[in-house]
Amino acid sequence: MNMSLFTIDQKKCRRDGMCAKECPAQIIVLADKDTFPTLMENGEESCINCGHCVAVCPHGAFTLNTMPLAECPGIQHNLLPEAAQIRELLMARRSIRLYKNRIVAHDLLEDLINTARYAPTGSNKQQVQWIVLENPADVNLLASMVIDWARLILPLMPDESMVMKMKRRITAWDEGIDLMLRGAPHLIVVHSQADLPSAEADCVIALSSLELYAYAKGLGTCWAGYLTVAANSHEPLAQALGLPKGHKCFGAMMLGYPQYKYTRIPKRNTPLVTWRP
């Protein structure tokens, strides 16, 4: 049976209704147990192309026309980590500010992004865009532009402690020490159209996912907060980054091989939780 949006393999379909129940837009109809799933009238307009119908079907009977089954691999359950492993990873991950003088292979950078693209996005819009600086000299140039921006905003900063922090970074830079991008060999930037409803959350979640996978791959990362602010307010930096017009930088991350291994998990504050039993 060929629908405009999906195809049902009638030999495989058991008419269990899982696809219809799972669909977030509720556009798959299974009238009764003797019929096959069909598309609701005008259902195409509500489909967010999330592929849950394909992902949930245990019989391989459901194909979305945008998603050939060959491009939707089966989950390798034996590869999924135990909860204890994920917990340890989440607690052991650190911000890395000391990097080895070694570049990360292009294939590995590609692997990081290809994995992070599976992070959730609002309405499955998948509008996160990436800029990857592969050349350490370019990262250094951007760090110098963050310093240019810091020198410009220094007289405008109202908070004395922020002024002190910024002055320290500028003085260090003048002495040959990079406290902005920490001499990282690479920088990964996420950006999206500024006015999309979930653009910021989508970008931050994607970069957070990348950070965790990078850690598991033996890499170190550190969020580049100053660069993120500067990218959205200092035009020469936005241009050097190649941010498209109307786009905003929602996060940036230094990346490279860490100089040191950490042996302990530092203490964190007790969470501020309102329990509502």
Q: Return residues touching ligand FMN (CB under 6 A).
A: 94-95, 97, 222-226
Cβ nearer to ligand FMN, comparing 42 with 269:
269
Phi then psi dihedrals of residue 166, to 5 deg? -70, -40
Sequence-distant (6+) residues with CB within 8 A of 127 are: 121, 192, 193, 196, 199, 202
Cβ nearer to ligand FMN, comparing 55 with 89:
89
- Residue 154 C-beta: closest distance to ligand FMN, Å: 16
Cβ nearer to ligand FMN, comparing 9 with 148:
148
DSSP letter at 181?
S
Tokens, residue 13: 């379909």
What share of residues in the chain are helix, strand, coil (percent, to 5)? Answer: 40, 15, 45
Helix (H, G, I), strand (E, B) or coil at 157: coil
- Residue 99 C-beta: closest distance to ligand FMN, Å: 12
- Residue 167 C-beta: closest distance to ligand FMN, Å: 16
- Residue 186 C-beta: closest distance to ligand FMN, Å: 15
Residue nearest to ligand FMN (CB): 225
- Residue 265 C-beta: closest distance to ligand FMN, Å: 9
Cβ nearer to ligand FMN, comparing 62 with 226:
226
Tokens 């899982």 correspond to what residue?
18
Alpha helix ranges (H) inside 52-135: 52-56, 83-92, 106-116
Cβ nearer to ligand FMN, comparing 24 with 225:
225
